Every structure is written in C-alpha cells, then in structure tokens.
Amino acid sequence: MTTAVDRHIDYVLATNTQYTPMDRVYLTNRILALVGDAAADVAGADAPLTNLDRLVAAGVTNQVVTDTQSARAIVAAQLMDLATPTPSATNARFWAEYQHSPQAATDWFYRLSRANNYIQTRAIARNVAFKTPTEFGDLEITINLSKPEKDPKDIAAAAHQQRNGYPACQLCLENEGYAGRADFPARANHRVVRFNLGGHTWGFQYSPYAYFNEHAIFLDAVHEPMHIGAQTFTNLLDIVTWLPHYFAGSNADLPIVGGSMLAHEHYQGGRHTMPMAVATTDQPFTLGAFPDVQAAVVKWPMSVIRLTSSERTQLAAAAEHIRAAWADYTDDAVDVRAVGADGTRHHTVTPIARRVGDDYQLDIVLRDNQTSAQYPDGIFHPHQDVQHIKKENIGLIEVMGLAILPARLLPELAEVRKYLLGQPNQMAAMHKPWADQLRTQFTWTAANAQTQLQQAVGHVFARVLADAGVFKRDAAGHAAFGRFIATL
C-alpha cells in the first residue's frame, strides 16, 4: 500500500527542487512530527489535496492536532510548506523566470501559489459567479462563499489568547512563514516576491481567496496607512511597466469609500479584464498643461476620468492634477463638499492603471465619503433600498464592475426565487419590496427564474454603483461633471 506520507513526499519532491530523494527519511520524520507517528499507516490518495486532508485528519485522530478549524489550517500549511521553496529560493526562481518574460515569472509564481495550497482553489471554486448585461457592458457578479465561517471553538480560544501585535496586520511582510493562531490565518506556506517601487522595498503576492484571475496584491514592506498622492500614480504605472500583462489599482484612502485594509499601504491587480476597462468614453476633453494626455469621461455608473498617453511622467502628473483639484472641489448643487464643518476631508480617488498597446491608461474614479441624516451610511454609498443586496463599502474591485456579494445571499435568493414562483418560502422581509417589484415586472417560471433573478441582482449592483457615483448620469449630473472638468 502506498501511504499518505509517501504520496506527500512524492509531491514535495516534485514541487520543491531543494529536496532530493536522499531526503525521504528526513521528510517522513518532519511529516510525522506534525501529524503523529500513527499516520505512517494512512492510505495515500492520488489527488495531492485529498492526501493532505487525510494527513490532517490523521493528526486529529492521533490527538496531535486539535480539532479546530485554525489548528487544522496551521498543520495543513506546515505540511505544504515542505512543498514550497524558501523565500530566497522563490525570489531567485521568480527573477530567473523574469529574464525570459514577465509573464513567465508570474505564471511560475501563480502555479506555485496554487500548488502549495496558499491560494485556496477548492474554497474559491465554491463561489457563485455570473454576468449581467447592462447599458454599461457586462457587470460581473460573485457571491463570495470561499472564506470559511469562523469556528466557534477558535473564537473562544482567541478570547483567551494574548495578543502581541505581531504581525501587525495580514498584509505585512512578516506574514511570510507565520504559523498562525486561533485569530490569525496560517501562513507557513506563504511566499512574497520582493521588488523595488519608488526607491523602497515592496512585496508581490497572490490573494489566498482570489476574486478574479491571478488576483495579486502589492504591499509596502513598511506597515503604514493607505495614502493616495502623486507617488501613487507613479507607483501604479511602474507596476504595469514591470508586469505589463497585469492591471494595478489602489483602494481609496478614506473610510466608507475605501477598502477594508486602510492600515497598510497596498495595491491590487491581476490578469483580468475588468468590465470598466472595456467601457467606452463619451465626453472627451483637453488638459491644457498636459498636451500629450488624452482625457475623457468614462461611460460608467460611477464618475470616472480616463487618461491615456505614452508619456508616463506626464500621465502621472495629469492624474495628480485631477486628484489635487478634486480634493478641494465643492459643488453644493449636487451635494459635493470637499471638507466637512469639522474640517474633515471628504474627497479622494480610486486610481487604476493598465497598458493599452504601447500606451498607458489611468482611470481616476472620484470619491466622496460624506454622510447625512438622510444617508447615514454615506451619501455616495449604496442607499438603504439596495442594501438588502449590497451594504458593504464599494472598494477598488467593485468600482471596476465586479461585485463581491456576501455569502448570506445564496440561501436568501433561493427563498426569493420560491416567492416569485408562488411556492412556500421563508423570504427575508428586507427583500420583499424588491421581490414584489420583480413579480409584477416579469413572468416567472421554473425554467427562467434562476436566470432572471441573477440578472435582477446584476441590475441592483448597477444601481449600487450609481449610488456611489458623485456626478449622476442625468442632466444635472452631466452639467455638474462639466463644471468640475472646467476647473482642470
């Protein structure tokens, strides 16, 4: 019988060339140290991840591994760490592949990050994804089922765990190889490619719960807050010069309109054509101080200025010119106010960089994080009538037309579907106004209900984006956008 230990060693030798067949005894003992000597007799499986599961389960059975979600994840990462080159070897291989081409380098690093289970491919496969045609193009919708629910035993253990602030957050370089704990993810098999950006060391890694193809994260080696400024645009253009087959963008640096990780400077990107990237433009204009930069308004629910040029320095300067102008811009007629009564700044941008042939392109999305008595969650945030679908912040990924919707929606939409078909249901009350509207708007049958409901969700997401747009796509909004452009 081929054992699970033997199978895992075969996988380690095939994936991590730092080991050779001479290391089999050593690797056997390292594996058994993690899951108990009794695991030596566990039958092997052909699929590496199935084999991994069997080893972890054996560790629990042998009472070497605590039967909690976090403990299982920690041991699984340690087992896969054996199949992962050291950080220095990973970086050396990446840069060796880069000599062939940037794509060869990312292809290798992406394969490694999937093969060693750092990218949670099985969890990601559970996500529900579909597209919705709209006047702005096909919006992409994902109901995110990949991140596991917290284990109650881990929550209880975390309450009694002493915190020392290390790593400072989940984006710090110090996560590389970190064992993990009840309240912090296992990262023994995590690797980060170092590169220079703006004269400083940065890291490049993949997202473990990717929302799109080759979902990459670029992170500052120093733990410091997000900041959008002149250097941001230069950095993003440098990244798409370094990896021309990837886009790169930054979340805004203010609450409500920013992402979920404002404490650590980072960008996101990847090898995926987002819906906004292929959206057309409908209001070209000139920037007198930047003659080599083409400018236009993007036909998009949010307020986006697209800049295109082959001159990187001039392009970055034009983007900073727009950001600085927006930071101080107020138009009370459309509830746009740069500074609150208490001096709080409300304006920033969400920038996205990409290559288009020999040119560079920057999309500058105007953001405003004001709140009001009518809109306590944000004037330019999903309004209450669409929060039954999406209440969370509209960050970089959503801005570009890819909705990341909460897992709760999957069972909730199943009940909405029953309601629309006149079947017994337990539909949440918050969905009833929307469902009543859909019931009168369309004819519902068992054959068309799923597709029509998904399309309806996509149209709610288009409304969500429109809520987040500072200049609405109506006559008043077009006029207001024109007034801002005139200041440029």
DSSP type of residue 331: B
Quick check: 320 and 219 in contact, CB under 8 A? Answer: no
Structure confidence by residue, pLDDT tens digits, 42-89: 999 999 999 999 999 999 999 999 999 999 999 999 999 999 999 999
Quick check: 249 and 352 in contact, CB under 8 A? Answer: yes
Quick check: 363 and 298 in contact, CB under 8 A? Answer: yes
Structure confidence by residue, pLDDT tens digits, 238-290: 999 999 999 999 999 999 998 778 999 999 999 999 999 999 999 999 998 99
Q: What pLDDT is recorded for position 1?
A: 81
281-285 and 294-298 strand pairing = antiparallel
Q: What pLDDT is recorded for position 261?
A: 85
Q: What pLDDT is recorded for position 154?
A: 55
Structure confidence by residue, pLDDT tens digits, 83-126: 999 999 999 999 999 999 999 999 999 999 999 999 999 999 99
**Residue spans per domain, the chain:** 4-123, 247-267+275-380+479-488, 403-468
Q: Residue 218 phi/psi, 5° resolution?
A: -115, 120
d(CA 290, CA 305): 15
pTM of the model: 0.95
Q: What pLDDT is recorded for position 161?
A: 60
Q: If you average pLDDT over residues 181-185, what whole number do you get?
A: 92
Mean pLDDT of the residues in the chain:
95
23 is written with which tokens? 């290391």
Q: Could you tell me what percent of the chain has a pLDDT over 70?
A: 97
pLDDT > 90? residue 379: yes
Specify the residue for token string 């069972």: 411
